[in-house]
Chain A
Amino acid sequence: MAAEPLLELRNLTTVFPTRRGEVTAVNAVNLRVAPGEILGIVGESGCGKSTILLSILGLVPRPGRIEQGEIFFQGKDLTNLRGRAMRSLRGRAISMIFQDPQSTLNPVFPVGEQIREAMRLHGLLDGGRRPRWLGGRRKEGEKRRVLEVMEEVGIPAPEARYRNYPHEFSGGMQQRALIAIGLVCEPALILADEPTTALDVTIQAQIIEVMRRINRDHGTSIILVTHNLALASEFCHSIAVMYAGRIVERGPVEQVVGDPQHPYTQGLLRCLPRISQRAQRIDPIPGEVPDLASLPPGCAFAPRCPVVEDGCWQAELRLRAVTPGHYARCIKYEAGERYTEEEVG
């Protein structure tokens, strides 16, 4: 891992008070993203992976809140930032791509204007934030940049598409427009929340290709949140697997996918259909995602774990190194010989 991470989450804990008690959506999460790295956060829906992204941007919907932990971005702790300081990062240094492009673009504004707004909010180009009558000539410069970005994300005929409304775009084009919004200010980090879930498979591949190119050409770091382990294993450099608000395994993609250590990761991999092994049947993980409002003590995965032991029901498990850089949160590494590496939470 690079010496100076772009983003580092330390012990991040985000909670939502509900009628049935406090729900810990993100539970003491530690993560690092290096410049230019693509990190995948994988897990079933409701495991807290999207909440991590919202926590980074300080957009956890009320009454949810970050209860403890730090979010270091370029050396600054974002949990201390408020108001204008936080806003100047959003969309500028860190931008976000949402899940459902159809409901994420504002239906009443032309797509081009929505891309341009991201730039104008941060006073980029030409006259800065000054209005035109005070000598700000931003409009032309901004528009040129918008067209450039639309071209880059693969929207054909950007000049003509600039004035179109979101409903005149196809789903794939809408997602490209959202990526353009995320890209236009040339951020250091893009947070992508299930960016391809709402799209057709062929379009998915195109969108992933666009993001891969952005990563390569601009060195932009990306956090990809997805439930799709196959997608993550193809696209990401490293992977964190989440279960019930906690990271259960994390490491470089080759190790997590090639040599999974946590039973949950192994289960997720068995769920994937593989064309090469036609005979092997798909093997779903039994049971359901646990209710975050009433988590039992011990390992949250224990009720569904095929190799559960007696100790699993009480143990307060930690993320332990399996090999350098590869960590798992499982009872088999609690006391074993391989317990040597740094403890990360």
Chain B
Amino acid sequence: MRAVKTIERVLYALPIMLGVAIVVFIFIRMTPGDPVDIMMGQGGTISAGEIEQLRREFHLDEPISKQLWYFLRDAAQGDLGYSYVKKRPVTELIGTRLPATIELAGGALLIALLVAFPIGIISAVRQNSLIDRLSMSAAFVGISMPGFWLGIVLILVFSVWLRWLPVQGRIGSEIVLERITGFYTIDAVLTRNWTALSSALRHLVLPSVTLAAAVAAIVARVLRSSMLEVLRSDFVQLARAKGAPESVVVVKHALRNALIPTVTVVGLQIGVLLGGNMIIETVFGWPGLGRLVVEAIFNRDFPLIQGAVMVYALTFVLANLVVDILYTYLNPKITL
């Protein structure tokens, strides 16, 4: 049953992915100016002959439907175009930056969940206690705070004033680390380079905490309210009547049900993580995909922007696909 649902879900995501690609394709055509100039960006001057050649290369002499077809075909094969500014294929540029971004987003998601779950559960179990009131007030401020400002405040406090943590970058400049996966923390562990690991982790702390703050706040609030609802339900009372200790009642019977609405919200928060990623990478000088896009915007490097937006959107679609599949495993009632 679940396998069928899972396949259905995957099939449902395919047209969305196609639509995303089409929207991205339309984006670049909304840009005012000559398409060749746009594709070239600020990649230098070229002769009239070269323009003609590029026109053919971009299929600009063919109808727009044909152009869309070429674009989709190339994208499906992993070819997202060529950055004339960086003189590299877009896919390659994105590929080199992606590990940094995933490391940051993954760290942030991990921190967010590690913080949000205990807080959400304890606040619900001890409703209206001091810890509940304090953490829910903090969560309320958390959802009202723009990430770029929080990042700057954290840098000021922990890097500039207290000097506990580095201001910028992914790893200390003096450290040599062999590149295996591109994830510095993993590479450091693989090569048993503990100085590098400590440096990479110290660099990771502030940006991932900043990125995690809003997500943790929202997840904690949702988890708390769904826990409160579940804790009032009859089956929780039955679990107690069966003789289950309170820990089993809360974690097994209540939490397992409260996870169902929470997981959906976590899925939506991945969008916040991805969007916030550009901002946070800019604030912390994190050499990931977000910084690459921001640079590309100021270089008017449109093929690169287009490719990166596509990667972001597809990541979001995939993340929600994973969440939906997880949801079918959490909720036996789900029927598609």
CB distance from A292 to the nearest CB of B (A): 21
Of A88, A104, A105, A108, the contact of B243 (CB 8 Å cutoff): A88
The residue that A90 contacts in the complex, of B243, B260, B332, with Cβ under 8 A, is B243
CA distance A92 to B242 in the complex (A): 7
Chain A CB within 8 A of B111 CB: no
Please give, as numbers and ranges, the residues of chain B lying within 8 Å of A109 by CB-CB distance. 256
Of A89, A104, A108, A109, the most chain B CB neighbours within 10 A belong to A108
B243 touches A91 (CB 8 A): yes
Does residue B96 face the partner (Cβ distance < 8 Å to A)? no
* A12 interface hit (Cβ, 8 Å): no
Asked if residues A105 and B235 are in contact (CB atoms below 8 Å), the reply is yes
Query: Are A107 and B241 within 8 A (Cβ)?
Result: no
Does A261 have its Cβ within 8 Å of any Cβ on chain B?
A: no
Residues in B with CB closer than 8 Å to A90 are 240-243
| Least CB separation from A92: chain B residue | B243
Chain A residues lying within 8 Å of B331, measured Cβ to Cβ, are 107-108
Question: In the bound complex, do residue B333 and residue A100 qualify as a contact, i.e. CB atoms below 8 Å apart?
Answer: no
Is A89 a contact partner of B243 (Cβ separation < 8 A)? yes
B260 surroundings in chain A (CB, below 8 A): 108
Question: Which residue from A99, A107, A121 sits with its C-beta under 8 Å from B244?
Answer: A121
Interface centre among A57, A88, A117, by most chain B C-beta atoms within 10 angstroms, is A117
**Does A103 make an interface contact (CB < 8 A)?**
yes
Q: Is residue B330 contacting chain A, with contact meaning CB distance below 8 A?
A: yes
- Tell me the complex Cα distance, A100–B332, Å: 20
A104 touches B235 (CB 8 A): yes
Q: Which residue of B lies closest to A184 (CB)?
A: B242
- In the bound assembly, the distance between CA atoms of A88 and B245 in angstroms comes to 10
Return chain B residues, CB-CB under 8 Å to A51.
Answer: none
Chain A, Cβ-Cβ closest to B256: A108
Is residue A59 contacting chain B, with contact meaning CB distance below 8 A?
Answer: yes
Q: A108 contacts B238, CB within 8 Å? A: no
Residues facing B in A107-163 (CB within 8 A) are 107-109, 117-118, 121-122
Q: Contacts A87-B244, A88-B243 hold; do A107 and B238 have CB atoms under 8 A apart?
A: no
Whole-angstrom distance from the CB of B3 to the nearest CB of chain A? 16
Contact of A59 among B241, B245, B256 (CB under 8 A): B241
Residues of the A chain whose Cβ atoms lie less than 8 Å from the Cβ of B243: 87-92, 118, 121-122
Given contacts A108-B330, A165-B332, contact A181 B237 (CB under 8 A): no
> A96 interface residue, CB < 8 Å from B?
yes
CB contacts (< 8 Å) of B240 on chain A: these are 57, 59, 90
Q: Is the CB of A59 within 8 A of B237?
A: yes
Is B195's beta carbon under 8 Å from chain A? no
- Interchain CA distance A103-B235 in the complex, whole Å: 6
Q: Which residue of B lies closest to A96 (CB)?
A: B241
Q: With the chains together, A181 CA to B245 CA distance in Å? A: 17
Chain A residue numbers with a CB within 8 Å of B239 are 106
Q: Interface readout for B259-285 with A: 1 if CB under 8 Å, 0 if not? A: 010000000000000000000000000
B234 and A181 contacting across the interface, CB-CB below 8 Å: no
Give the CA-CA distance A165 to B260 in the complex, in Å: 16
Minimum CB–CB distance for A321 against chain B, Å: 34
The reply on B299 being an interface residue by CB < 8 A is: no
Q: Which of B237, B256, B257, B332 contacts A98 (CB 8 A)?
A: B237
Please determine whether B241 and A95 come into contact, CB atoms closer than 8 angstroms.
Answer: yes
Whether A167 sits at the interface, judged by CB under 8 Å, is yes
With A and B bound together, what is the CA distance between A318 and B201 in angstroms?
74
User: In whole angstroms, how far apart are the Cα atoms of A181 and B239 in the complex?
Assistant: 10
The CA-CA distance from A39 to B230 in the complex, in Å, is: 32
Q: Are A121 and B242 in contact, with the CB atoms below 8 A?
A: yes
* A89 partner residues in chain B, CB cutoff 8 A: 243
Contact: A165 with B333, CB < 8 Å?
yes
Chain A residues within an 8 Å CB radius of B245: 84, 87
Given contacts A87-B244, A106-B257, A121-B242, contact A98 B333 (CB under 8 A): no
Query: What is the chain B residue whose CB lies nearest that of A115?
Result: B242
The residues of A with any CB-CB pair to B shorter than 8 Å are: 57, 59, 84, 87-92, 95-96, 98-100, 103-109, 117-118, 121-122, 165, 167, 178, 181
Closest 4 CB pairs of A and B: A91-B242, A90-B243, A91-B243, A106-B235
For this complex, 28 residue pairs linking A to B, each with C-beta atoms less than 8 Å apart, are A90-B240, A90-B243, A91-B241, A91-B242, A95-B241, A96-B241, A98-B234, A98-B238, A100-B234, A103-B233, A103-B234, A104-B234, A104-B237, A104-B238, A106-B256, A107-B331, A107-B332, A108-B330, A109-B256, A117-B242, A117-B244, A121-B242, A121-B243, A121-B244, A121-B248, A165-B333, A167-B333, A181-B238
